[in-house]
Chain A
Amino acid sequence: MAHLLIFTFIGIMWILILAGGGILVTMVSQISISGYGEHMDFFIASIIKAAIALVLVGFWIIILSKLKNKIFQKQIKA
């Protein structure tokens, strides 16, 4: 049973990786800024994208932590 839960956790992580990539490509990478000059536009957009990507990674870690606690509740307490 414990082993099955680890396989499940790996499967969920796989789906989260694919979904996270989807959000980055379809939404975050599309962000563009204009009106500050070519280089500044690119620079500001990069900073915004990096910040959003970091927030998403933070969310990803929080979701995984919650899932970990839920899935392995019995094992961790043991």
Chain B
Amino acid sequence: MQEYVIAALVASAIAFFVVFGLVPPLIKNLTKKNWAVKDVNRVGGAMVPRPGGPAILAGIIAAEISLYFFLPQDRLIMRGITALLITTSLAFVIGFVDDRRVMGGWFKPLSLAGAAIPIIALGAYEPNLSFPLFGEVKIPALYIGLIIFMIPIMGNTINSIDVMNGIASGFMTITSFSLAIVLFILQNYSVAIMMLPIAFASLAFYRYHKFPAKIFPGDSGALTLGAAYGVIAIVGQVEVIAAIALLPAIINSFLFLSSVKKIVEHRQIKGPTTHTDDHKITTTKEPGAPVTLVRLIVAAKPLTEKEIGFAIFRLAIFSGVLAIITAFISGVVIWPIS
């Protein structure tokens, strides 16, 4: 047990302090290069440096590499760490390309499907899908398809919730800690410890991303976090519970897709919200604008960006609690299959 505690402390500290330390020089560098975008929700529309993805990736990679040395040597876990490093790095590159030039709506899902291949090639998975209360099903062929779908879905889901200051990083902090708790409850300690760097990297980034944001994660940051989360869900065999913890973001994607009815780059569509005279955010009157989570949150009354962020964090905590309850009831099998 002592080696797990040491591994958890070391990896968490590395992830947190690498991101915390790297973001200020990254902000300076991005500002110097004029890599900044307008914060449309800010009074006066300040220019905010982007992307913060390189700092997030550096924190996750440094922390996960340390786990090669600190975690007990288990083949599946070592393969899992390698798959996490490669898939997350590929997702970062895909996001970085999209940060620099706006690609078509299909670019990210297709290329992220390619980023999932290292998980399959390294065999960093068990082809069983666990369903809480009912047990698990062995689906060797189908599971490969599931992996290929899962990484693009997780990446794009996190990317789609990156709509305002602090939301993507704050949401990922809550969701990652929830999934880490789930993995501890299921006594999957090594993968729980692999999850911690993602939570602490998100937390450190939130310090600079919260309202008023000093930096945006960009697609490179959001896809890095989403892909890393997806790999952990696969390696830890908690795909269903990971999806439960992510429900607010999944609802956001679902609402968006069911109103737009096609896969499209989010920068190419009409804004679902607009501003009141006192610069609060309210729902748009524009016909054909998509329905999103933020639009539903401000449907009753206009809210400030900060208030919307906290409303989404409350939803994230709620779904995190549901995920933890699901982990507790996972031990209870009401329909044992032979």
- What is the minimal beta-carbon distance from B5 to any residue of chain A, in angstroms? 32
Interface 1/0s, chain A 27-70, versus B by CB < 8 A?
Answer: 00110000000000000001001100100000001001100100
Taking a contact as CB atoms under 8 Å apart, the answer to whether A10 and B319 are in contact is yes
- What is the minimal beta-carbon distance from B145 to any residue of chain A, in angstroms? 8
- Our pick among A1, A13, A50, A78 for the contact of B251 (Cβ within 8 Å) is A13
Taking a contact as CB atoms under 8 Å apart, the answer to whether A76 and B291 are in contact is yes
Residue of B nearest to A78 (CB): B299
Taking a contact as CB atoms under 8 Å apart, the answer to whether B132 and A21 are in contact is yes
- What is the minimal beta-carbon distance from A6 to any residue of chain B, in angstroms? 6
Between-chain CB contacts (< 8 Å), 11 pairs: A2-B300, A3-B311, A3-B314, A5-B296, A10-B315, A14-B247, A14-B326, A21-B134, A25-B335, A29-B337, A68-B255
How many angstroms from the CA of A11 to the CA of B287 in the assembled complex? Answer: 30
Contact residues in A for B251 (Cβ distance below 8 Å): 6, 9-10, 13
How many angstroms from the CA of A18 to the CA of B133 in the assembled complex? Answer: 8
**Interface hit among B82-90, B136-144, B206-214:** B136-144
Contacts A5-B296, A13-B250, A65-B258 aside, 12 further interface pairs with beta carbons under 8 A come to A10-B322, A17-B240, A21-B131, A21-B132, A25-B136, A25-B137, A25-B335, A30-B337, A46-B139, A50-B142, A68-B254, A72-B299
Q: How large is the interface on B (under 10, 10 to 19, 20 to 34, 35 or more residues)?
A: 35 or more
Taking a contact as CB atoms under 8 Å apart, the answer to whether B142 and A24 are in contact is no
Contact residues in B for A50 (Cβ distance below 8 Å): 142
The B interface is mostly helix, strand or loop, or mixed, namely helix
Taking a contact as CB atoms under 8 Å apart, the answer to whether B134 and A26 are in contact is yes
How many angstroms from the CA of A25 to the CA of B338 in the assembled complex? Answer: 11
Please, how many residues of chain A have a CB less than 8 angstroms from a CB on the other chain? Answer: 33
Taking a contact as CB atoms under 8 Å apart, the answer to whether B297 and A3 are in contact is yes
Taking a contact as CB atoms under 8 Å apart, the answer to whether A72 and B296 are in contact is yes
Interface 1/0s, chain B 293-325, versus A by CB < 8 A?
Answer: 101110110000000000100110011001000
CB within 8 Å of A: which residues of B? 131-137, 139, 141-142, 240, 243-244, 247-248, 250-251, 254-255, 258, 283, 291, 293, 295-297, 299-300, 311, 314-315, 318-319, 322, 326, 335, 337
Contact residues in B for A49 (Cβ distance below 8 Å): 139, 142
Contact residues in B for A68 (Cβ distance below 8 Å): 254-255, 258
How many angstroms from the CA of A21 to the CA of B326 in the assembled complex? Answer: 12
From A7, A10, A76, residue with most partner B Cβ within 10 Å: A10
From B255, B299, B314, B335, residue with most partner A Cβ within 10 Å: B299
How many angstroms from the CA of A31 to the CA of B267 in the assembled complex? Answer: 45
Contact residues in A for B283 (Cβ distance below 8 Å): 75, 78
- What is the minimal beta-carbon distance from A43 to any residue of chain B, in angstroms? 8
Taking a contact as CB atoms under 8 Å apart, the answer to whether B293 and A6 are in contact is yes
Contact residues in A for B291 (Cβ distance below 8 Å): 72, 76
How many angstroms from the CA of A72 to the CA of B133 in the assembled complex? Answer: 30
From B134, B250, B297, B335, residue with most partner A Cβ within 10 Å: B134
How many angstroms from the CA of A6 to the CA of B299 in the assembled complex? Answer: 12
How many angstroms from the CA of A6 to the CA of B254 in the assembled complex? Answer: 13
- What is the minimal beta-carbon distance from A21 to any residue of chain B, in angstroms? 3
Taking a contact as CB atoms under 8 Å apart, the answer to whether B240 and A21 are in contact is yes
